């Protein structure tokens, strides 16, 4: 791991176990990225608190669960740094500093924040921490001097806001203290829930967690939505928006066979059962080793804790140094 590699910051809010949607959208990419980048994975418990202050136990318990998920899919602590957000004081220090370089109305105009305020039904009772989280995210990104941030398309405005803060800090310092970051939008779109809903989430009951048992996987695939108009095997079926095919697009390693299968389905004569069987085989093969590794790791909590501790230790050195650089560069009083 050399610091000459480009730095990537990514991570997950610790509000639940990770699922197939995470695997398709981000975890899989991270396995590649750790080979070529200096990758930091943030167990984002502090950010999770911005809308879960009433349920801290959930946020705490999922720190360990998400770390298990990372290691189970093949994140290698020798290549990637797994670290705990709330244990990195420089992130809070930079957040508080950056809040002076962004106005309340700018935060309120952030499209991601606007959408999420609506989605969460906060109304007038937005926790201040939630409104401020773009500044906290700017702190996360810049503390690691990350230049690449994998995000969903809907989160690109957050990177723009980070870069606005970076430009203001650099202007105030009269020097290029911090690099701007670039959003890395994943090639694969978001995986739908098994019920066809846009978003897979544990709370909606439409997710397949990475820890799913063989039976749970079978059950989920059986329940999966297909083409509601494809009633008889001989009918022509629709592939677009068909959840089973969306999953095959994401996970089938044999793209040629998949295209042939789609053609057959469109023509008619291919039953949902057969397509689902193919998907199930693929998912069972994908998830079995992850599940087994996850069970092994769960039996070795000391090892997992050690990974988090060591990663957080490394992250602390880096982020403390950044805060010190920023404080000196801006001309704060430094002891």
Residues within the interface to a copy of itself (CB under 8 A):
14, 43, 45-46, 49-50, 53-54, 56-57, 59-60, 63-64, 84, 86-87, 89-90, 92-93, 95-97, 99-107, 124-132, 135-136, 172, 305, 308-309, 312, 327, 330-335
CB of 329 to a copy of itself, least distance (A): 10
Residue 323 C-beta: closest distance to a copy of itself, Å: 8
Smaller CB separation from a copy of itself, 38 or 45: 45
Instruction: Give the shortest CB-120-to-a copy of itself separation in angstroms.
Output: 13
| Shortest distance, position 214 Cβ to a copy of itself, whole Å | 31
Nearer of residues 10 and 85 to a copy of itself, judged by Cβ: 85
Q: Which is nearer to a copy of itself, 192 or 311 (CB)?
A: 311
Tokens of 335: 């002891």
- Residue 136 or residue 283: which is nearer to a copy of itself going by CB? 136
> What is the C-alpha R_g of the chain?
22
Angle between helices 301-330 and 133-143 (to 10 degrees): 100
Query: What is the distance between the alpha carbons of residues 85 and 128, in angstroms, rounded to a whole number?
Result: 19
* Residue 258, token pair as written in the block: 């998949």
- Pinpoint the alpha helices (H) of 133-213: 133-143, 156-173
Long-range residue pairs from 324-327, CB within 8 A, at least 24 positions apart, any chain: 325/177, 326/94, 326/97, 326/142, 326/169, 326/173, 326/177, 326/178, 327/97
- Token pair 């069972």 is at which residue? 284
Rounded to whole angstroms, how far apart are CA atoms 225 and 169?
Answer: 49
We find the least distance from the C-beta atom of residue 68 to a copy of itself, in angstroms, to be 13
CB-hemisphere CA count at 13 Å for 63?
A: 25
Nearer to a copy of itself, 120 or 277 (CB): 120
Cβ-based neighbours of 20, under 8 Å, separated by 6 or more: 191, 200, 207, 208, 209, 210, 247, 283, 287
Q: Are 10 and 149 in contact, with CB atoms under 8 Å apart?
A: yes
| Nearer Cβ to a copy of itself (106/190) | 106
Smallest distance from the beta carbon of 107 to a copy of itself, in angstroms?
6
Taking the least distance from each CB to a copy of itself, the nearer of 97 and 212 is 97
**3-class SS of residue 216:** helix
Least spacing, CB of residue 81 vs a copy of itself, in Å: 14
Could you give the count of Cα atoms lying within 13 Å of 69 in the half-sphere of its Cβ? 30
Least Å distance, CB 25 to a copy of itself, is: 24
Compare residues 109 and 197 and give the one whose CB is closer to a copy of itself: 109
CA 236 to chain centre: 37
Give which of 10, 44, 13, 32 is closest to 148, Cα–Cα. Answer: 10
């Amino acid at each position: 791991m050399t610091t000459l590699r480009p730095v990537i910051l990514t991570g997950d809010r610790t509000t639940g176990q990770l699922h197939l949607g995470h695997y398709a959208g981000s975890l899989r990419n991270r396995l590649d990225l750790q080979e070529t980048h200096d990758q930091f994975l943030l167990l984002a418990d502090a950010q999770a608190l911005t809308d879960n202050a009433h349920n801290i136990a959930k946020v705490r318990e999922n720190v360990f669960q998400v770390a298990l998920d990372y290691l189970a899919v093949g994140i290698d602590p020798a290549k990637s740094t797994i670290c705990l957000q709330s244990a990195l004081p420089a992130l809070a220090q930079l957040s508080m500093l950056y809040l002076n370089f962004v106005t309340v109305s700018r935060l309120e105009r952030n499209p991601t924040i606007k959408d999420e305020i609506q989605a969460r039904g906060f109304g007038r009772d937005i926790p201040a921490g939630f409104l401020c989280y773009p500044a906290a995210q700017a702190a996360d990104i810049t503390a690691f001097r990350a230049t690449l941030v994998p995000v969903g398309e809907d989160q690109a405005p957050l990177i723009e806001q980070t870069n606005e803060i970076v430009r203001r800090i650099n202007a105030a310092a009269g020097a290029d203290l911090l690099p701007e970051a670039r959003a890395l939008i994943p090639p694969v779109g978001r995986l739908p829930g098994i019920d066809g809903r846009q978003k897979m989430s544990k709370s909606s009951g439409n997710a397949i967690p990475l820890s799913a048992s063989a039976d749970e996987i079978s059950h989920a695939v059986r329940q999966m939505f297909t083409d509601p108009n494809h009633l008889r095997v001989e009918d022509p079926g629709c592939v677009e928006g068909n959840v089973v095919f969306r999953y095959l697009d994401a996970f089938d390693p044999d793209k040629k066979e998949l295209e042939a299968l789609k053609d057959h389905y469109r023509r008619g004569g291919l039953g949902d059962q057969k397509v689902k069987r193919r998907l199930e085989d693929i998912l069972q093969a994908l998830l079995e080793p992850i599940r087994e590794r996850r069970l092994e790791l769960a039996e070795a909590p000391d090892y997992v804790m050690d990974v988090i501790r060591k990663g957080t230790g490394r992250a602390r050195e880096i982020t403390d140094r950044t805060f010190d650089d920023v404080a000196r560069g801006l001309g704060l009083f430094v002891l």
